[in-house]
Amino acid sequence: MKTINPKETKTAEVHALLLGAIAPRPIAFASTVDEEGNVNLSPFSFFNVFSAIPPIVVFSPARRVRDNTGKHTLENVETTREVVINICNYDIIEQMSLASTEYDKGVNEFIKSGLTPEPSVLVKAPRVKEAPVAMECRVNEVISLGPEGGAGNLVICEVLLIHVNENILNEEGKIDPYKLDAVARMGGDYYLRANGDCIFELPKPVRNKGVGVDQVPEYIRHSSILTGNHLARLGNTEVIPTTEEVESFKSDPLVSYTLSKYGRDKGQLYIELEKLGKKLLDDHQVIEAWKVLLMVELLNG
């Protein structure tokens, strides 16, 4: 492992390491106005949600590393105490990137990027009509994290209204991640599109507590083909199958076939059962995987 001390490293290098490692990051596509009503639109990937009651989102316009100057968005939120956080998806990613251009103060990035300003209800700044979600916010607090280039400024926003395009909702009225087609920031010029194989489901830990990886038999924990994720999936079950349940599972067609084909070669049989257990885990058939993997111990005993 390479070890880096931020205090002994150039700010630009620390900045690049942090952005490369802490990824993907959601993007706050922030629209604001100044005291004269001039509109500004700019994306920030130092962004996330921190509370539901009250609904709080936080983003951070950092001071520029190269010349230690502040950004127009920061000036605007400090003055007007309002902002609209628009969520960017793949349909507008190029326009969002264009809006990040450091145009002179007073230049309207809506016009430059070709995006459509939609009047907000409770704040002066317009929202992005093309954005799948837009949140009208009151700025509760701005916390400066330092005076040097690269220092962040935490803009703590209370969400007053949430506008959601109904086309991204599923039948239950919840946001469908595939329809949202969100994008996220990586390091350098890289982004991530949250769609297709990038999206996967992972069941939350069981409410009544899983047995834990420490309760998985040692020979399974030391498997050469099972990963830490596989072991965690086993550890997230509440009860380990009994010997009777394992014995009964021998009648499963796939298990029965494996036993009959490799029964004369125990070494190969154990390997094939381990492979089958891995496949079952990959298919989220955790209890069945438990039974197959425990069968090795049963046959060996």
Phi, psi of 112 (to 5 degrees): -65, -35
Summarised one tens digit per residue, pLDDT across range 33-62 is: 999 999 999 999 999 999 999 999 999 998
Nearest CA among 43, 112, 113 for reference residue 72: 43
**Per-residue model confidence (pLDDT) at position 68:** 66
CATH 2.30.110.10, the chain: domain bounds: 6-198
Q: Give me the amino acid identity at 13.
A: E
Helices within 62-180 (DSSP H only): 72-80, 93-99, 109-113, 177-180
| Locus of tokens 């939350």 | 204
Closest CA to 240 of 205, 273, 214: 214
> Mean pLDDT across the chain, nearest whole number?
93
Taking CA 114 as the corner, what is the angle to CA 111 and CA 119, rounded to the nearest 5 degrees? 70
Q: What is the DSSP letter of 283?
A: T
Fold of 6-198: Pnp Oxidase; Chain A (2.30.110)
Per-10-residue mean pLDDT, the chain, length 301: 93 90 96 95 97 97 74 94 98 94 89 96 98 98 89 96 98 96 95 92 75 94 94 93 94 93 89 95 94 89 64
CA distance 8 to 31: 36
Compute the distance between CA of residue 120 and CA of residue 33 in angstroms, rounded to an integer: 12
Cα separation, 286 vs 278, whole angstroms: 9
Residue 122, token pair as written in the block:
């409770």
The pLDDT tens digits of the residues spanning 250-279 come to 999 999 999 999 988 888 999 999 999 999
**Whole-Å CA distances, 139 to 52, 57, 78, 108:** 16, 10, 8, 21
